[in-house]
Amino acid sequence: MSKLWKGRTSAKTSVLADEFNSSIKIDKRMYKEDIEGSMAHVAMLSHCNIILKSDAKKITDGLSKILKDIESGKLKIDDKAEDIHMFVEEVLTKRIGAVGKKLHTARSRNDQVALDIRLNLRKEITLINFTIDKLISLIIDIADKNRDTIMSGFTHLQKAQPITFAHYLLAYGMMFKRDMERLYDLYKRVNISPIGACALAGTTYKTDRVYEARLLDMDGVCENSIDAVSDRDFIVEFASDLSIISMHLSRLAEEMIIFTSAEFNYIELSDAVTTGSSIMPQKKNSDMAELVRGKTGRVYGNLMNILTLLKGLPLAYNKDMQEDKELIFDSIDTVKNCINIFIEMLSTMKINKERMREDASAGFINATDLADYLVTKGMAFRDAYKISGEIVSYCLKNKRDGDNYCNKSDGVVQKITLENLPIEEYKKFSKLFDKDVYKFIDLETCVNRRTSLGGASPKNIDRQISFLKK
């Protein structure tokens, strides 16, 4: 391809320099936005009588033909071109002749590339939000079916208090809702038009930037032409928003890995999203979840990369900025893939309700409720807390062999839990204990009684689901 910027220099660049300079392999992804942007530009030039209506028509027809031909595969994007902007303009001029050269009036590649990336990212924001929306709907669906699936909630990865699987999963629903909100908010800053800022200082032609922005369905124009071509804040923001999504996904991924281990066995993933080992026949590995966790590093890396490439960059455009697209596109593709694999993973997983319930029973997760029981009988919480702790310690130290307490570690001995500790034993710790304690510390009761706003109770599950549905 020839060099449209030949003039000041001979444009006799070395092969190595051409390859090093070229961004077409990355920015060809914006061919549609580049052509749509050019069409709006031509329409504005004609509207403002900067070019003839008849010329504008030729250019527009030529551009729509190029778009059609790229989409049908008839026109291959030449990977030797410098970038997508040069490629489209050169094909246009080759096809329609000298009139094609009028397209680049009152614009520069600096505002053109800034426009293309904004048009492309606004589309990606919508697509990602659509995918997150699907994920949230799935979470609501699973939560709805697991309102009474009792499990242990954890702190420090130690069993803490009884919750339901619905409550647990809806926590992720909240995170993903915030992720969507962040992207909606970002959209406002992305959908502002830089075109017409030209190289950096605006133009002497009587252009109408507002008209052009409206044609592109944008919500406003960048007010300062220098800022218009230098601003990449929205890319940093997008990379950051995607990093937060990745962080959320990696937390869920980590729990999927833990919950699918034989030790937990809370969840079983479908064979469609797990792998075997090449040597250990018994293995079923949660590779997809591990990859989602791992790819978070790549997404964070892209954010750091973009921030670093912009650091200390003088105004206005610098070629360094060409690097931004590869990074943000990589984050976009990675996060989209991660969400989609998660949708497949969650929609096909088997939830081992009984196992979760059984595991919840053995961990003294109702010890707080035991203390609360004494509080309802008039004891101060701190005193009640101490007694409950002593009872737990007593249970852990002793085992039962039939009706007898023992300290044997072998034979058929039964673990003592708060649920099966006889009432006479309870009474030794406090006279306030009565038989109603068993109902009080029953795990279902514990969940149902957590009615404080946002707590684990079924009513709160309803509330959370309708909050997410909004």
CA–centroid distance for 381 within its chain: 41
Is there a catalytic annotation at residue 277?
Answer: yes
Nearer of residues 107 and 182 to ligand ARG, judged by Cβ: 107
For Cα atoms 307, 313, 319, give the angle at the middle one, nearest 5 degrees.
95
Size of the site for ligand ARG (CB under 6 A): 10
CA–centroid distance for 142 within its chain: 19
Site string for ligand ARG, 27-46 (x = CB under 6 A): x-------------------
Question: For residues 228 and 222, is the Cβ–Cβ distance under 8 A?
Answer: yes
Site string for ligand ARG, 406-445 (x = CB under 6 A): ----------------------------------------
For residue 84, the 8-state DSSP code is: H
Q: Is 89 in the site for ligand ARG (CB under 6 A)?
A: no
Q: Half-sphere exposure of 196 toward its Cβ, with a 13 Å CA cutoff?
A: 23
Q: Is 23 in the site for ligand ARG (CB under 6 A)?
A: yes
Is there a catalytic annotation at residue 156?
Answer: yes
Least distance (Å) between residue 18 CB and ligand ARG: 13
Q: Scanning residues 95 to 134, which ones bind ligand ARG (CB under 6 A)?
A: 109-110, 113
Catalytic residue of the set 261, 277, 393, 466: 277
Q: Scanning residues 298 to 357, which ones bind ligand ARG (CB under 6 A)?
A: 317, 319, 321-322
Q: Is 216 in the site for ligand ARG (CB under 6 A)?
A: no
Nearer of residues 23 and 302 to ligand ARG, judged by Cβ: 23
Task: Tell me the sheet residues that pair with 415.
Answer: 399
Least Cα distance to 286 among 265, 304, 313 occurs for: 265
Least distance (Å) between residue 113 CB and ligand ARG: 4
Nearer of residues 113 and 213 to ligand ARG, judged by Cβ: 113
Nearer of residues 9 and 54 to ligand ARG, judged by Cβ: 9
Nearer of residues 92 and 289 to ligand ARG, judged by Cβ: 92
CA–CA distance, 106 with 85 (Å, rounded to integer): 15
**Three-class SS state of 160:** strand
Least Cα distance to 128 among 243, 30, 274 occurs for: 243
88: burial class by Cβ within 10 Å (0-12, 13-18, 19+)? buried
Contact pick of 83, 111, 231, 330 for ligand ARG (by CB under 6 A): 83
DSSP3 helix / strand / coil % (the chain, rounded to 5): 65, 5, 30
Residue in this structure with the two tokens 């007010």, named with its chain if needed: 223
- Catalytically active residues are 156, 277
Please give the residue ranges that form the binding site for ligand ARG (CB under 6 A).
Answer: 23, 27, 83, 109-110, 113, 317, 319, 321-322
